[in-house]
A and B are shown apart, each in its own frame.
Chain A
């Protein structure tokens, strides 16, 4: 018995042709873009230099605006006054933390380079030979190879020009962004509602309601992430600093600061932050705590952060499968560099919000269509 082959309907054929045409058009655009590569680079660089301060102002506004709103709710107004209070407090906090923290960091770094760095070099070049895990013979061969090829010297020599070149390409945009950011933030926060209203007026009235709803959901998700992450970074950094000091680890302040800063990168941040104190504890043994104790402290801190603090602060809004987070870090990291790594989680969460929103919209439309059919019947 043979099954009769179903003929392709006109509708399916039309759809296939439509998708093929779209794919061809995309390929043609890509081809054209490649032909004018320099022009595109020039345009994207211009967009990037304008967008980075604006995007940063938007992200900081998501943290500051609830505070301004809170003050206004308490009767502290007009907007200029509440904004001035929040600004003065924020600037004061930033200056105070720099004033108190910078001398400690500088003194710890100075201490490290004058006391421990020569000891580490001695350990690697002399003491490590006797305890090298693969035997003294292999150690001698590795050292001979390094000496013959002058690999470290060449790397150090190439490091300085690269560093100087990167200062020019990074420092200038960074300084511009830092100078522009407070001004942009101030104007954005003063006219927060008006700017949002203007942006909304650009959207065609047919889609206005849906876009506004999606925008509000995205704002909520990204805002929740930023506020929660900031709180977590502060808390975990402080806890790590205190615990490191309690166990007698030298340079506890710098190590604690690293834990706080790298906490912004899920999963990888933990490993990055744990490596320097563990290596230091290993090299400086038997003085100070052992590497196992430092490892244990890191594991316990991360366990408490991941299982108690993070679920409570972030809520279920940003709860995603670890594999999704790791893949998004790798993907957005390779696309946007360090910024992509830092913002991989909120970008992934935003994509999920958009996906869920369109799914919801589709279900809503189908339900409406069903209702219409039922009513007409």
Chain B
């Protein structure tokens, strides 16, 4: 009975926004690193210093965002949708680029390049599993299900 109730529960925009916001904040630094890596910003700047200042800005943005989320909590809790497809697409993109950024971060930190593929596959598998669970439970979006 409890399981059925949990399965049927539809989450409000607030819960979805909280997940998307914190996922974005976790992956923000890696996503920025993806851009720096493509445009080879590491040739122009000291990358360690860049990572340091980006991490601090990331922390500040997280604090401001948390404040905004708390302020708008009641209004967002009143918004409920049957499914959150667009929000899930956003989360998917953030995670995909974040994952790539994580690998770039691994490379910047000077770890062995030989194991990049191993790190990428293990992290991707873990992330895929988390996304699958999140999609089913919160976003009401099951991309393993046939139409």
Residues of A within 8 A of B (CB): 100, 104, 231, 235, 238-239, 241-243, 245-246, 253, 308-309, 311-313, 315-316, 319
Contact = CB atoms under 8 A, between A and B. Distances in A.
A246 B113 CA distance: 9
B92 A242 contact: no
A312 B92 contact: yes
Contacts of B38: 238, 241-242, 245, 253
B116 interface: yes
B5 interface: no
Contact of B147 (A242, A308, A313, A316): A316
A93 to B, nearest CB: 14
A354 B92 CA distance: 32
B19 interface: no
Interface string B11-39: 00000000000000000000000100111
B interface, over-half SS: helix
B89 A238 contact: no
A104 B107 CA distance: 22
B97 A238 contact: yes
Contacts of B138: none
A interface, over-half SS: helix
A242 B89 contact: no
B39 A238 contact: no
A312 B143 contact: yes
B10 interface: no
Interface residues of B, number: 19
Contacts of A100: 39
B96 A245 contact: no
Given A100-B39, A246-B104, 6 more contacts: A231-B93, A235-B96, A239-B96, A309-B92, A316-B147, A319-B147
A246 B103 contact: yes
Interface in B105-147: 107, 116, 141, 143, 147
B105 to A, nearest CB: 12
B107 A311 contact: no
B143 A239 contact: no
Contacts of A311: 143
Interface of B: 34, 37-39, 85, 88-89, 92-93, 96-97, 100, 103-104, 107, 116, 141, 143, 147
15 contacts: A235-B93, A235-B96, A238-B38, A238-B97, A239-B96, A239-B100, A241-B38, A242-B34, A308-B92, A308-B143, A311-B143, A312-B141, A312-B143, A315-B85, A316-B147
Contacts of A246: 103-104, 107, 116
A250 B37 CA distance: 14
A241 B39 CA distance: 10
A316 B141 CA distance: 13
Contacts of A239: 96-97, 100
Which of B93, B104, B116 has the most chain A CB atoms closer than 10 A to its own CB?
Answer: B93
Nearest to A242: B100
B34 A238 contact: yes
A59 B88 CA distance: 26
Given A311-B143, A312-B89, A312-B92, A245 B39 contact: no
A231 B34 CA distance: 17
Contacts of B100: 239, 242-243
A238 B141 CA distance: 26
A186 to B, nearest CB: 28
Contacts of A231: 93
B21 to A, nearest CB: 19
A100 B38 CA distance: 11
Contact of B89 (A241, A313, A316, A319): A313
